[in-house]
Amino acid sequence: MISTIAIRAKYIGASVLTMAVLAACAPLGPNYQRPEPLSATTTGAAVRELPPQYKEAAASANALLKPVSGAAAAVTDWWKSFNDPKLDALMVQVAQANQNVAQAEAKYRQATATTQQAQAARFPTLGTSASATRSSQAANGVRTTSQSLSTGFSASWELDLWGRVRRSIESGDASAAASASDLAATTLSLQAQLATNYGALRALDVQRGLLEDSVAAYQRSLQLTRNRYEAGVVAKSDVAQAQSQLFSAQAQLIDTGAQRATLEHSIAVLTGRLPSELTIVRVDGYPLTLPAVAASVPSELLQRRPDIAAAERRMAAANAQIGITVAAYYPTISLSGSLGQRGTTLADLLSLPNRFWSVGPALALSLFDGGARDASKAQAQAAYDQTVAAYRQTILTAIAEVEDSLSTLRVLAEELVVQQQAVQAAQEAVTIALNQYKAGTVSFLNAATAQAAEYSARRTELGLRSQQFSASVALIKALGG
């Protein structure tokens, strides 16, 4: 009896040792190495490298990417550089309550669970069973009744000899990391959208103040014209022109309310609320200041942009899938065993002689599949090549977005200087035209034209400042926050 148990233990131990040695083999398929960010040129030249700096940053007369301290550059709450507590509170609500962010977070949890499922294949599958049957049959007029009781314990384990399981875990880990980066990219995109809408809303607040000033000025002009008409100095057409100018400005003032409401509703949805649940109090004279954006170079985008990180992790996942298809060419080896008791009565069930056991390996290999494995491998290789192209395209797009934002800011800065001069000239023209009108040397049309030109110049200046605010947000988003 002891000899039999020793032989069984020796057999099982040898099987486990063999299994451990085989499982230690390196997995099949290519090991992942991150490709170069840029591919070779169409002329077949060597692989290109990322430029040392941005083209538009070098072309800017004034530094748009400004050196900042290390502590400031490390802050992830980039919106705090706008120094607006209301904006800070809204940004936090985007991360906590926005439903698109919630969807991305759920996808990340789903990817994590998939990885855990793949990791479970590294361990044996254990199970237990119990059964009780009672049967009756008649033979030669005699009926006999019998019963059978059994309990058992089973275990099975697939040897990861060729690395299929390890490649599956590798793919799952990379996919989960890509989902985490997708979550970060979604959050960044929505927060940038919120900042843009918030800046546009505050620009409308400033524009409303500008229109209110213009309406007040046009009311004074209308009163002046009525006084001169009653005195018989000017014609009634001047009064009509003054009224038309005033009513037009009042209509524009009303229209800003509709535009502001639309932006406020959009901000409410971004923060996960109903439009009726959010009211943003008007702020007169909002500064629309531009933040200092930390100096950066194109190579830093590979670490800072979440969409690039997601594309890179998808390459790793696709590369691991190639190894899974290669492992399909080799046999599947598994070890299984069972142990239990059988008997006709409960006493027999607990009796040692009624014990049964089995243990042994199993091998399965597909000898012919009509080229299915070849097609699967080719499909996996093509999918990997697709992710490489997507990775490189994401990098090109990211660099182009930074360049676009830098060029926009540079042009807007130059344009704003000229426009501010136009505002000064328009204000002087209004003063001169009104004085001439009061003196009776020109008609009201001259004064009205000057006033309209002055309002248009001031509105254009405000529009440029609003565009600068939006372009700054776009630059921060393009740099990865």
**Mean pLDDT, all residues of the chain:** 84
Per-residue confidence band for 74, with pLDDT thresholds at 50, 70 and 90: very low
> CA 428, 429, 432, 437 torsion: positive or negative?
negative
Q: Tens digit of pLDDT for each residue in 206-223?
A: 999 989 988 998 898 889
Helices (H), 81-161: 85-97, 99-120
Q: Structure pTM? A: 0.83
- The structure tokens 């985007």 sit at 94
Domain coordinates of the chain in residue numbers?
A: 2-132+146-202+249-478
On the question of pLDDT at 238 being above 80, the answer is yes
- Asked whether the beta carbons of 95 and 78 are under 8 A apart, the reply is no
Q: Tens digit of pLDDT for each residue in 126-151?
A: 888 888 787 777 777 677 777 777 88
Per-residue confidence band for 269, with pLDDT thresholds at 50, 70 and 90: very high
Per-residue confidence band for 8, with pLDDT thresholds at 50, 70 and 90: very low
The pLDDT value given to residue 349: 65
The pLDDT value given to residue 68: 53
- Backbone angles phi and psi of 364, in degrees to 5: -135, 130
- In angstroms, what CA-CA distances link 413 with 58, 296, 303, 329? 15, 20, 29, 63
Average pLDDT rounded to a whole number, residues 3-13: 45
- Asked whether the beta carbons of 148 and 344 are under 8 A apart, the reply is yes
The pLDDT value given to residue 44: 54
Which two structure tokens, joined as six digits, stand for 108?
Answer: 């990340």
Beta bridge partners of 358: 338
DSSP 8-state code for residue 144: E
The pLDDT value given to residue 38: 81
Distance of alpha carbon 110 from alpha carbon 28, whole angstroms: 27
Out of 113-127, 130-144, 261-275, the most confident range is: 261-275
Average pLDDT rounded to a whole number, residues 255-284: 93
- Asked whether the beta carbons of 256 and 203 are under 8 A apart, the reply is no
The pLDDT value given to residue 7: 42
Out of 229-243, 314-328, 363-377, the most confident range is: 314-328
CATH of region 2-132+146-202+249-478, choose from 1.10.3720.10, 1.20.1600.10, 1.10.357.10, 3.30.450.20 = 1.20.1600.10
